[in-house]
Structure 1
């Protein structure tokens, strides 16, 4: 069994201490009885806390046929050539919101983007990672390489993450998408997840709107569910009751859809331009 990851309580530096005594192939499963027919069964994820347990659903009855498997989380970048963080086994996979712990040979630390200082466990900042899996650089582009890799081999991921005291990594947001309000950092995805717990909201996206006094203000674009009766004041109050003051939504725009690219990623630049247009139109 892997041992606990070592996390320095002051610097937040995390080095893997996993040790594996043996590896073996999964135990073969007996054939199902009766045999599964894919026209009649569909592979699906049953509603449950992440990671979900897999099951086959009978297309005729909707009943679940138990399937002995679980889904784990993992994390990696193109620049790391592979995933360097993952959950192993059922217990680690029950850490909801975590992508697991470091793989063998990996080192990581969380850095304050403003000061460059290492942060302690539980505090979000930019994830830096080092190990033999990290690329040597971008071919023929020394400038871009120097922007992402330092002289000691640390790769700046550009992701805002946190590492807890047990060494489990959670991804918060992309650094470039963080909203900066009076020196505070606000993760759009945190507010989007909160907004989507509202029974009348189908989809939500949050972006920063430039403000002379605060730097940026969080504004939300919301798609309502069919038959819902949403109002800006109600939505702002819904969020304000559940977050600290600097994470409050300052404007809400009701829209028919959220612009996304082919991969389903929210087009935040388009929304920022739309917010600017709508706010200026009201001035």
Structure 2
């Protein structure tokens, strides 16, 4: 669906991914989307000529696989500004990539009047640049609390007024924010925290992988074991998937929980992976 934004500027809202795009999208110059749509744009359903007028993309809603972003930029074949942002219903939009300062994989810098910090998940202590922990935010736009739910409010907003997002990430030296994963989605392998998104990003680098979801399954020896559910572009042996991770990820991040090839992954209408549903499938 094409919508006007004034001054003749147009953007494309993708509502259905089942139909092949065969024509340039009426000179669409900007697309606003969630990360899973990147896989669709990178697929054979969208030929490069359909993106010939594209100048910028804004992505939010989940961590962006850097591999998918780089593949799209190569596919477009001309300069493409890749803009990322970060926010929540409880805090509104708090970070965005400044114009002309692209840094793929990072969701931008803090907006005016936004304060952010990263705290150690175990101790609650503030961490320096590049220290990975939970993202906490203060902003005039944040909620005052959940209606008639004081206990839930106290769990997310601490006594100093910081809202604990539940997202794991870090700020680099330049103040760019990177989201690694959700605290509840991290896989604990022998007590070590493993990010499903990190494994997914590496798997997407394999030429046969179209889409992937990684979850942890119970394991008596490891505590949890990473397992991948993969949608393929073309046939490949499971051994080749395991081989692909060697040298790219630490051994404890390998797929000790196995690899399963599936036709599709559980996603919401916007295309975001429903990891909880995938976990239910994995442990059933």
Q: Same fold (TM over 0.5)?
A: yes
Distance 1:231 1:150, change over 3 A: same
Rounded to whole Å, the distance in 2 between the matches of 1:229 and 1:65 is 33
Task: Give yes or no for contact 2:24–2:52 (8 Å, CA) kept in 1.
Answer: no
Rounded to whole Å, the distance in 2 between the matches of 1:258 and 1:44 is 30
Rounded to whole Å, the distance in 2 between the matches of 1:247 and 1:63 is 36
Rounded to whole Å, the distance in 1 between the matches of 2:280 and 2:8 is 57
Shift of 1:67: 6.1
Shift of 1:63: 8.5
Rounded to whole Å, the distance in 2 between the matches of 1:195 and 1:88 is 29
1:264 equivalent in structure 2: 271
Distance 1:187 1:139, change over 3 A: same
Specify every segment of 5 or more residues in structure 1 that has no aligned partner in the other structure, as ranges. Answer: 1-27, 32-37, 53-58, 278-283
1:19 equivalent in structure 2: none
1:158 aligned onto 2:166: yes
Rounded to whole Å, the distance in 2 between the matches of 1:265 and 1:66 is 23
Shift of 1:241: 2.4
RMSD of Structure 2 on Structure 1 (CA): 3.0
Determine helix, strand or coil for the equivalent of 1:213.
coil
1:175 aligned onto 2:198: no
1:76 equivalent in structure 2: 87
Deviating above 4 A after TM superposition, structure 1's stretches of 4 or more consecutive aligned residues are 28-31, 65-71
Rounded to whole Å, the distance in 1 between the matches of 2:248 and 2:96 is 31
Shift of 1:184: 1.5
Shift of 1:45: 6.0
Determine helix, strand or coil for the equivalent of 1:269.
helix
2:28 equivalent in structure 1: 43
Rounded to whole Å, the distance in 2 between the matches of 1:183 and 1:39 is 50
Determine helix, strand or coil for the equivalent of 1:261.
coil
Q: State which of 212, 225, 235 in structure 1 corresponds to 2:220.
A: 212
Task: Give yes or no for contact 1:106–1:130 (8 Å, CA) kept in 2.
Answer: yes
Determine helix, strand or coil for the equivalent of 1:72.
strand
TM-score, normalization by structure 2: 0.71
2:251 equivalent in structure 1: 245
2:114 equivalent in structure 1: 106
Alignment of 1:122-137 (within 5 A): 122-137=130-145
Shift of 1:253: 0.8
Task: Give yes or no for contact 2:24–2:51 (8 Å, CA) kept in 1.
Answer: no
Distance 1:44 1:230, change over 3 A: farther
TM-score, normalization by structure 1: 0.72
Determine helix, strand or coil for the equivalent of 1:113.
coil
1:86 aligned onto 2:96: yes
Moved more, 232-241 or 70-79: 70-79
Moved more, 169-178 or 260-269: 260-269
Give a deviation string over 1:155-191, Cα, whole Å, max 9, x none: 0001111100111111122221111112221111111
Rounded to whole Å, the distance in 1 between the matches of 2:261 and 2:241 is 10
Rounded to whole Å, the distance in 2 between the matches of 1:213 and 1:66 is 49
Rounded to whole Å, the distance in 2 between the matches of 1:108 and 1:63 is 36
Rounded to whole Å, the distance in 2 between the matches of 1:40 and 1:166 is 36
Task: Give yes or no for contact 2:213–2:265 (8 Å, CA) kept in 1.
Answer: yes
Determine helix, strand or coil for the equivalent of 1:79.
coil
Determine helix, strand or coil for the equivalent of 1:237.
helix
